[in-house]
Structure 1
Amino acid sequence: MKLIGSLTSPYVRKVRIVLAEKKIECDFEIQSPWTEDSVVPDYNPLGKIPVLVLDDGTPLFDSRVIVEYIDNVTPNNKLFPAPNRERTEVKRWEALADGLLDAAVEARHESQRPVASQSAAHLRRQREKIMRSLAFMARELGEQPYCMGTPMTLADIAVGTALGYLLFRFPDIEWGQAHPNLARLHDKLMQRPSFQETLPKE
């Protein structure tokens, strides 16, 4: 298998963490979807990363599809429960974390536009989504050691990836002070090699 992505994309990082937790070897081809010579559209017509290219050449895209596929490749270190209410809750956590990331990425793109072209209202809406999502995560986590109680699941990987992206791109959002339980979860996850070795970098 081959994973196509960048070192800064949080969606790619989520997949890399799952691959590491599942102990699955996978080639990693660094590609930006924004360059004119990018090969990403050759694999994903949407022009987005990550893309996981299977051994038979089939491309899988959207990180949620990819991580669920990877979790089913081997029985070790299962990150998704069997299909039931608990599995739905894990996927709800992932949808929330990915939604926070969608807002954060959109806010970053807007902030990179020329100042005269930026929409203050659009930026405000995205940051409000981020703040509401953080508050919801903190309420749902409570004093549990992990999002689903125990053990660690894909929910924690998704949330940890989202929190890590905020640290990387939005250091002004001091979510750790506002939500110390999220900070404790992130600190615990950062003790894992899968998180340490995939820290985003330019």
Structure 2
Amino acid sequence: MKLIASLTSPYARKVRIVLAEKKIDCPLQLDIPWESTSTVADFNPLGKVPVLLMDDGSSLYDSRVIVEYLDAISPVSRLLPQDRRLLVETRRFEALADGICDAAANIVVERRRPTVQQSQEWVDRQQGKIDRGLAALSAMLGERHWCNGEGYSLADIATGCMLGYLDFRFADLPWRDLYPNLERLYDKLSAQASFADTVPPAA
């Protein structure tokens, strides 16, 4: 297997953390989809990272599909609960965290356009998704130590990658002041080797 990824993608970081937690050795091929030399579209018709290249020449995408596959092929550190209720709760956190990343990435892309072509209405719409998503995640987490209430799981990884992406791209967003329970979770996650080893490079 080989992972095609960008070091700044929160979705790719999620997969890289899962690989580390599962102790799966997987070479990393760096590719930035925005660059003209990118070959991502050769393996994912949507032109997005991450992509997991399989030994038989096939490929898996997106991150949610990849992490489910990785969790299934190794019994080490199961990150998706077997209990149906906990699995749904874990997936709910992941979907919301990924959705916040989608909205944040949309703002990043919009701000890269020429100023005269940018739409503040579009940016505000995406910011609203981020604001509502953070409020919902904070309410869902409450005072629990882990997102699904039972133990470290993909829910925590997805949430941590999202918060890290906000720090990386939106350093002025005061999510820590607004949601101290998310800050506590993020600080705990950041101390883990899998998170520390995948911090995005300085812009």
* Rounded Cα–Cα distance in structure 1 between residues aligned with 2:83 and 2:49: 27
Residue in structure 1 matched with residue 169 of structure 2 by the alignment: 169
DSSP-derived class of the 2:29 partner = strand
* Rounded Cα–Cα distance in structure 1 between residues aligned with 2:122 and 2:90: 30
The amino acid that maps onto 1:167 is D
Residue in structure 2 matched with residue 120 of structure 1 by the alignment: 120
Percent same amino acid among aligned pairs? 53
Aligned residues: 202
Residue in structure 2 matched with residue 91 of structure 1 by the alignment: 91
Moved over 2 A (4+): none
DSSP-derived class of the 2:158 partner = helix
The amino acid that maps onto 1:158 is A
The amino acid that maps onto 2:121 is A
* Rounded Cα–Cα distance in structure 1 between residues aligned with 2:90 and 2:112: 33
* Rounded Cα–Cα distance in structure 2 between residues aligned with 1:142 and 1:44: 37
Instruction: Report the alpha carbon displacement of residue 112 of structure 1 after superposing the two structures with TM.
Output: 1.4
1:29 aligns with 2:29: yes
* Rounded Cα–Cα distance in structure 1 between residues aligned with 2:30 and 2:21: 20
TM-score, scaled to structure 1? 0.98
- Name structure 2 gaps, 5 residues minimum: none
* Rounded Cα–Cα distance in structure 1 between residues aligned with 2:68 and 2:159: 16
Alignment of 1:34-113 (within 5 A): 34-82=34-82, 84-113=84-113
CA deviation profile, 1:96-151 (whole Å, cap 9, x unmatched) = 00000000000111111111111010000101110100000111100000101231
The amino acid that maps onto 2:117 is S
Instruction: Say what the alpha-carbon RMSD is for the aligned residues.
Output: 0.9
CA deviation profile, 1:22-56 (whole Å, cap 9, x unmatched) = 01000000011122221111111111100001122
DSSP-derived class of the 2:113 partner = coil
1:151 aligns with 2:158: no
DSSP-derived class of the 1:173 partner = coil
* Rounded Cα–Cα distance in structure 2 between residues aligned with 1:56 and 1:83: 32
Change (3 A) 1:150 1:85: closer
The amino acid that maps onto 2:173 is I
TM-score, scaled to structure 2? 0.97
* Rounded Cα–Cα distance in structure 2 between residues aligned with 1:188 and 1:83: 25
CA deviation profile, 1:137-190 (whole Å, cap 9, x unmatched) = 111100000101231000000000000000000011110010000000000000
DSSP-derived class of the 1:52 partner = strand
* Rounded Cα–Cα distance in structure 2 between residues aligned with 1:85 and 1:199: 31
